[in-house]
Amino acid sequence: MTALAKFGVAQQNSEVKRSVHVLLTRCLDDVDDEVRDRAALNLRLMDEDDELANKFVRNGTNMVLYCAR
């Protein structure tokens, strides 16, 4: 998930970004909770401003997601 998001955020080509967006959107239907959570977070970051995406995706900050079960 993170590698795919990094690739999508780093691209200047809008067609490549759109393709990455489609792939992450498809991951929202995965059976694994963590995959769905990471896909949703990365989609949100890709849609946000560049500063937020740079902070969490491009710079390699490790994002840890905790889910209440």
> pTM to 2 decimals?
0.68
Listed in sequence order, the residues at least 6 apart from 25 whose beta carbon sits closer than 8 Å to its beta carbon are: 39, 43
Q: What's the token pair of residue 51?
A: 């500063």
Contact 67, 27 (CB under 8 A): no
pLDDT tier at 65, thresholds 50, 70, 90: very low
pLDDT tier at 29, thresholds 50, 70, 90: very high
Residue with tokens 């209440």: 68
CA distance linking residue 33 with residue 9, whole number of Å: 23
Q: What is the pLDDT of residues 3-25, one digit of tens each?
A: 887 777 777 778 888 898 899 99
